Structure 1
Amino acid sequence: MEERETIIGLEIHCQLDTRSKMFCGCSTDFRDDEPNTHTCPVCLGLPGSMPMVNKRAIEFALKVAKALNCAINEESEFSRKNYFYPDLDKAYQITQYDKPLAEWGKLLIDGDNGEREIRITRIHLEEDPGRSVHMGTTDRGKYTLIDYNRAGIPLIEIVTEPDLRSPKEARKFLNKLRATLEYLNVFDSEKEGSLRVDANISLKGSERVEVKNISSYKGVEKALTFEVTRQRNLIRRGQRIARETRHFVEARGVTTSSRSKEEENDYRYFPEPDLLPLRVASWVDAIDLPELPDARRERFVSQYGISSEHAKTLTGGLKLAEFYEAVAPADPALAATWTADYLLGELNYRDFTIEAMPRELFKELITLVKGDAITDKSAVEILRIILDAVKEGKEPERPQAIVDRLGLAKSSGDQVTQMIDEVIVEQPAAVADYYAGKMQALNFLVGQVMKKCRGRADPGHLNILLKEKLDKKV
């Protein structure tokens, strides 16, 4: 049976990094504070309270819309979306419905089969509901606590067309969008709950399923991969795919049925009577966009002469791009290779961000590699020693101090020559195999010299020296 095409559309809820909430003056800096302490009559929805729109939130949303090539509507309008849920204190959410702030944008990604344009259906403003804290798991919890500190945080919802064709493409889109939002300085990806995703997924010709409130980039790919497998298995067994809302249980990597899918009329939308329509399209001309990821990638290639692949990796996040530009003066090409190919792997292994690596120490490490003072193997060892010190909360040593303490300086020419002579004497069988035409014997001899010098020599250079010395003896 031919497998059906996967069709995915995303609804991304992004908290705007403003100091106050969407419709009141309560602080958004609540994450380390006691629950229910950043509230007022407006964000609690108490009778008689009146909302007032946060101008900075509108400016941030317009900035995002402009960066995503959206058309700004001449007039947009807030509506009430009515539904009951414990963390929705007013029993309605102020959002935008049939008159959103902006529509019809696009974002380019590296898709499964080359560069692809993902269409943006709409961007609209709304307020975040409160937060449910489940004591136990969401499906088997003993009880749930409600924290209204988050109620009223400014959100933009970015809705895509169903243009994504795999879970991997969905994750790539989110990574590109996250980077764009960071470059715009409207969003802090490191804040808990700052980005949440609802994913609509179907196999061509089948009913659409919505997977709600996925809270991580990896989680999106995992949830959608599980859902593709689940739906394909149902089709193979001749069963019907139900139109429903499902919840992603991240700890188990599965989706579970939550409820039947709501229709728009279930929410009883109507215009928010306490807020006037927005007419802000004219504000866009005054918004200056910063250098965005694609433009920065092109500049890195032209200015620093690095590969397009390295440039793509290094511009994948604002802080990573800034880190690279800070260390590039040591040697742009080496800095790109060591940041993208070595440092990021070590950081990911330790669940660190780029900020964990002291820039000056990394520049010194690059300088040592460039000056041929240490081997790549020794440089990796030094990098790990520095990051392990950071993980333990200690002050890391400078790379040169580590070289001196552990004797990691590259072996000199005379030392290497002496070690080669010793290995030739100590390994007569391997030498005989080399003369018999077994070229793998040369690799063995190189390994023996590397062992003697504790990795402080270049294997490629050793290969040349050993071959020259052996060939002279013939």
Structure 2
Amino acid sequence: MSTPQLIQGYEVVIGFETHAQLSTQSKIFSRASVAFGAEPNTQACAVDLALPGTLPVMNKGAVERAIEFGLAIGAHVAPRSVFARKNYFYPDLPKGYQISQFEIPVVQGGQIEFYLGDEKKAVRLVRAHLEEDAGKSLHEDFVGQSGIDLNRAGTPLLEIVTEPDMRSSDEAVAYAKELHKIVTWIGICDGNMQEGSFRCDANVSVRKPGEKLGTRREIKNLNSFKFMQQAIDYEVRWQIEQLEDGLAIQQATVLFDPDTGETRAMRTKEDSADYRYFPDPDLPPLVIAPEWIDEVRARMPELPRAMAARFVADYGLPEYDATTLTQSKAMAAYFEDAAKRSGQPKLVSNWIMGEISRRLNANAIGIEQAPVSSAQAAMVIGRIADGTISNNAGKQVVDALWNGEGQDVDALIEAKGLKQMSDTGALEKIIDEVIAANADNVAQYKAGKDKAFNALVGQVMKASKGKANPAQVNQLLKQKLS
């Protein structure tokens, strides 16, 4: 649990419920497709529509993805779990109930670990349970009425519920990003927030330190990390203002309006008793044998935390670098390939987190779409390490590769005349000329002023048109001035 950060004397308390759409080809209890973007009501079969006489059949792939998630977060995978009916009435819910899990979920406990700045955090999970999605009400395309699209009805979801362990919007967003990384890394969810594949609900309350938990309000369906932070920050300010004015907080479900930057109440928040849960009579208990768990564990990929630890051990990287480089599988693979090719892991790490990430962000693309391949990056870094080009020249080569001016690193270095001057005789001649022309700086350096030495180095670099090897310049200049 996090250290409290007080806002106007109040402690912020945040818990999350996240719906991750599982990456199966078909729905959780039917064979209907879950592909995104189909015409309304073209992917809802008789089971999804709850026509009389239809029965749900469990999707094995959805269960396996739940097992993978449980293993990834160090949770207990229940050998026996039970499906329940969550009863409520809404136009996009054909059955009049949602099949979910209540008393005995498939995944129990576990935690998500992440960094907030340099501080390591951990958020405990209560549970992760399997359930079906509802349909979707459409209001924008109709005048005076609403449409119902049941394509999403029956889509498999894993609802991931935390303890109220987060104490700031920064921490909440960092948690959500880490969870997003895990589910996409292990391939159980595509993480597309715009399409609704990864939807977060934030339960927010405030209290004076030492008091019992305040009344929470649930911000529904946050579909971007930016809006998530804005919504939580607004909600915290609103609740504090209410309490400071002597008003009580009413438990409610609220929506965030990104246009106004405000939350607004949608309905009073229900408690579990309002849903009248009871075991679903059409579905037997879900039994998961230890052998099945072992099979799933054997084919899981190396997890981000384990890979980060390996990067520290094998490549000597700082923990911060290793954590940053394992933000995605693609970035980790890019680093590892470039590090092996160049033999310069720390330099590769610096370039990925610096120059390459800067360009990726500017172009709003992922590293898997970078115009500079890991092999090309390794070649550039290798040429910097062996003194062929300077760091600055390396940036020019990356610019040329990025802009499609060529593919061969050495050819670009030659064409642009970027090779460093490493001929000792030629360098000594330039240094001698600089010393002769800068008697004042020479005298100041000999009097103990280091800035004068830097000025002389600058003059040498200028005279060589930036091609002199800085390390070699320093060495030769010191020899001549000693």
| Shorter-normalised TM range | 0.7 to 0.9
On the 8 A contact 1:13/1:195 being kept in 2, the answer is yes
CA offsets, 1:199-219, max 9 Å, x none? 111112532111111123344
Measure how far apart 1:53 and its partner are.
0.9
Equivalent residue number for residue 322 of structure 1: 333
Task: Find out whether 1:364 has 2:370 as its counterpart.
Answer: no
Equivalent residue number for residue 276 of structure 1: 284
Equivalent residue number for residue 204 of structure 2: 201
* Correspondence for 2:27 among 15, 21, 24: 21
On the 8 A contact 1:179/1:318 being kept in 2, the answer is no
Structure 2 unaligned segments of length 5 or more: list them: 1-6
Measure how far apart 1:61 and its partner are.
0.5
Task: Find out whether 1:8 has 2:18 as its counterpart.
Answer: no
Aligned-residue CA RMSD (Å): 3.4
Equivalent residue number for residue 3 of structure 2: none
CA offsets, 1:342-398, max 9 Å, x none? 322321222111201322222222222222222212222332343344xxxxx8633
On the 8 A contact 2:125/2:161 being kept in 1, the answer is yes
**Separation in structure 1 between the aligned mates of residue 468 and residue 312 of structure 2, nearest angstrom:** 31
Secondary structure (helix, strand or coil) at the match of 1:69 reads coil
On the 8 A contact 2:192/2:198 being kept in 1, the answer is no
**Separation in structure 2 between the aligned mates of residue 463 and residue 322 of structure 1, nearest angstrom:** 37
Equivalent residue number for residue 315 of structure 2: 304
Measure how far apart 1:154 and its partner are.
1.1
CA offsets, 1:27-49, max 9 Å, x none? 22334x44443332222333443
**Separation in structure 2 between the aligned mates of residue 465 and residue 200 of structure 1, nearest angstrom:** 64
**Separation in structure 2 between the aligned mates of residue 425 and residue 415 of structure 1, nearest angstrom:** 16
Secondary structure (helix, strand or coil) at the match of 1:23 reads coil
Measure how far apart 1:301 and its partner are.
1.5
CA distance 1:421–1:290, change in 2 (3 Å)? same
Equivalent residue number for residue 407 of structure 2: 397
Measure how far apart 1:156 and its partner are.
0.4
Secondary structure (helix, strand or coil) at the match of 2:358 reads helix
Give 1:170-319 correspondences, 5 Å limit: 170-190=172-192, 192-204=195-207, 205=211, 206-250=214-258, 253-282=261-290, 283-288=292-297, 289-319=300-330
Equivalent residue number for residue 156 of structure 1: 158
CA distance 1:415–1:164, change in 2 (3 Å)? farther
Structure 1 unaligned segments of length 5 or more: list them: 390-394
Secondary structure (helix, strand or coil) at the match of 1:5 reads strand
**Separation in structure 2 between the aligned mates of residue 88 and residue 444 of structure 1, nearest angstrom:** 74
Name the amino acid aligned to 1:130. Answer: G
On the 8 A contact 2:406/2:412 being kept in 1, the answer is no
On the 8 A contact 1:100/1:124 being kept in 2, the answer is yes
**Separation in structure 1 between the aligned mates of residue 144 and residue 392 of structure 2, nearest angstrom:** 52
On the 8 A contact 2:20/2:191 being kept in 1, the answer is no
Name the amino acid aligned to 2:28. Answer: M
On the 8 A contact 1:133/1:144 being kept in 2, the answer is yes
* Correspondence for 1:122 among 127, 138, 143: 127
Equivalent residue number for residue 345 of structure 1: 358
Name the amino acid aligned to 1:195. Answer: F
CA distance 1:239–1:363, change in 2 (3 Å)? same
Name the amino acid aligned to 1:328. Answer: A
Task: Find out whether 1:96 has 2:96 as its counterpart.
Answer: no
* Correspondence for 2:170 among 156, 163, 168: 168
On the 8 A contact 1:30/1:38 being kept in 2, the answer is no
On the 8 A contact 1:374/1:410 being kept in 2, the answer is yes
On the 8 A contact 1:118/1:163 being kept in 2, the answer is yes
**Separation in structure 1 between the aligned mates of residue 301 and residue 323 of structure 2, nearest angstrom:** 17
Measure how far apart 1:440 and its partner are.
4.5
**Separation in structure 2 between the aligned mates of residue 271 and residue 3 of structure 1, nearest angstrom:** 44
CA distance 1:10–1:405, change in 2 (3 Å)? same
CA distance 1:373–1:278, change in 2 (3 Å)? same
Equivalent residue number for residue 42 of structure 2: 37
On the 8 A contact 1:11/1:158 being kept in 2, the answer is yes
**Separation in structure 1 between the aligned mates of residue 169 and residue 145 of structure 2, nearest angstrom:** 33
Name the amino acid aligned to 1:401. Answer: A
Equivalent residue number for residue 392 of structure 1: none
On the 8 A contact 1:244/1:260 being kept in 2, the answer is yes
Equivalent residue number for residue 333 of structure 1: 346
Measure how far apart 1:23 and its partner are.
1.1
Measure how far apart 1:83 and its partner are.
3.0
Name the amino acid aligned to 2:333. Answer: E
CA distance 1:200–1:437, change in 2 (3 Å)? same
Secondary structure (helix, strand or coil) at the match of 1:245 reads strand
Equivalent residue number for residue 402 of structure 2: 387
**Separation in structure 2 between the aligned mates of residue 130 and residue 280 of structure 1, nearest angstrom:** 29
**Separation in structure 2 between the aligned mates of residue 116 and residue 185 of structure 1, nearest angstrom:** 24
Equivalent residue number for residue 4 of structure 2: none
Name the amino acid aligned to 2:347. Answer: L
Measure how far apart 1:236 and its partner are.
4.3
Name the amino acid aligned to 1:201. Answer: V
- Among all aligned residue pairs of Structure 1 and Structure 2, give the percentage whose two residues are the same amino acid: 39
CA offsets, 1:4-36, max 9 Å, x none? 2221111111111112111111222334x4444
* Correspondence for 1:411 among 421, 435, 446: 421
Secondary structure (helix, strand or coil) at the match of 1:223 reads helix
Secondary structure (helix, strand or coil) at the match of 2:380 reads helix
Secondary structure (helix, strand or coil) at the match of 1:149 reads coil
Name the amino acid aligned to 1:158. Answer: I
